[in-house]
Chain A
């Protein structure tokens, strides 16, 4: 009889130990809640554990798990109004590093947000200019469609080989718009078409929207 009670207590004790974090955060469902409360009344060890649990919970919740400078930079970019051609806002001279796809998505989200909040605004100044581009630069020279499984490093390699710079995308069709000096356009097209991850690359007629 006594053995049975001890085993029952041990089981309740073990189950309470497992449930304490959610008792502490107030997210237990009623049956679990009642079970833990009943056990806590008779178990000093679990009551002490609960005290520790509450301290740990409040200390973890108070941890400064954020990187303010990154956050500020991201918000700054998300809030940037869309460029004149609705393109990616790669900063002039900025390195297109390993995370550019992520920034591309951020810019994409920025465009989505901007659609809802900035659509009626007059067109803002273009945020990206090739260093050598003359004033009044065209929105893009080439449009390229990569295979869905192309890796970021393959895309980067293809862009470097072609000498083109990313200025917009992904478009609704998941294509990217590139800029390249006009005399280099044919060579860049040939390089892109020869790249493994490229499905197609086409020149953009100045009169045609991408």
Chain B
């Protein structure tokens, strides 16, 4: 049971060759090759955008942080020292920039997730159910702390290991494990009231 699901999941995990490609791109970026930056940009823009939007929940702020992050890659490629994966280094920049941005703006986080939800077009009952479940999950995620949201998304969507997450968040691996544990518990508690049959 576990084996089949696990194999399928492993197949979708990040392949090592991706890091080799990224290292090559970083070497070219260090030589000021804009085509290499273009390639790296296209590869990282969508996933960083999701990561930052999920963490910050403010679309304009997450765009700003995303651009700042990629600009650091372009302007300071020498900061990549080859001791970690390129992706870990880039996510770490994004994470730190996001924390800085959160400290800068002290306005309460709106439920900006509402903007990300599918439109209210009439659809089959089943689609409505999916939308309701997604709404509930987005609301529950929105009530978590940015750190908890980050660790959830980095694990479930970006498929990072806990050691990579620890490295990019600058904390011990055990802290990542416990953050994830509490984040999952909180999610389940928040969801249990309205969607008892969903989880």
List the one stretch of B17-25, B32-40, B80-88, B121-129 in contact with chain A: B32-40
A94 at interface (Cβ–Cβ under 8 A)? no
Q: With A102-B68, A113-B34 in contact, is A25–B159 under 8 Å at CB?
A: yes
A60 at interface (Cβ–Cβ under 8 A)? yes
The residues of A that contact B162 with a CB separation of less than 8 Å are: 19, 22, 27
The residues of B that contact A37 with a CB separation of less than 8 Å are: 2
Contact B199 A64 (CB under 8 A): no
* Residue in A28, A70, A108, A115 whose CB lies within 8 Å of B59: A70
Alpha-carbon distance between A98 and B65 when the two chains are bound, in angstroms: 13
Contact pattern, A 20-53, Cβ under 8 Å of B = 1, otherwise 0: 0111111111000000010010000001001011
Q: With A66-B53, A67-B53 in contact, is A26–B2 under 8 Å at CB?
A: no
The residues of A that contact B141 with a CB separation of less than 8 Å are: 60, 63
| Complex: chain A residue closest to B134, CB-CB | A63
Contact pattern, A 166-186, Cβ under 8 Å of B = 1, otherwise 0: 000000000000000000000
The residues of A that contact B193 with a CB separation of less than 8 Å are: none
Do most interface residues of chain A lie in helix, strand or loop, or is the interface mixed? Answer: helix
On chain A, the number of residues with a Cβ less than 8 Å from chain B's Cβ atoms is: 47
Alpha-carbon distance between A203 and B156 when the two chains are bound, in angstroms: 54
B190 at interface (Cβ–Cβ under 8 A)? no
Contact pattern, B 1-24, Cβ under 8 Å of A = 1, otherwise 0: 110011001101100000000000
Contact B6 A67 (CB under 8 A): no
A148 nearest CB across to chain B (Å): 13
B161 at interface (Cβ–Cβ under 8 A)? yes
A61 at interface (Cβ–Cβ under 8 A)? yes
A101 at interface (Cβ–Cβ under 8 A)? yes
Contact A60 B137 (CB under 8 A): yes
B167 nearest CB across to chain A (Å): 13
A205 at interface (Cβ–Cβ under 8 A)? no
Contact pattern, A 67-111, Cβ under 8 Å of B = 1, otherwise 0: 100110010000000000000000000000011011001101100
A28 nearest CB across to chain B (Å): 7
Contact B49 A71 (CB under 8 A): yes
Contact pattern, B 106-125, Cβ under 8 Å of A = 1, otherwise 0: 00000001011110000000
Leading 5 A-B pairs by shortest Cβ distance: A102-B64, A116-B34, A26-B10, A27-B161, A105-B67
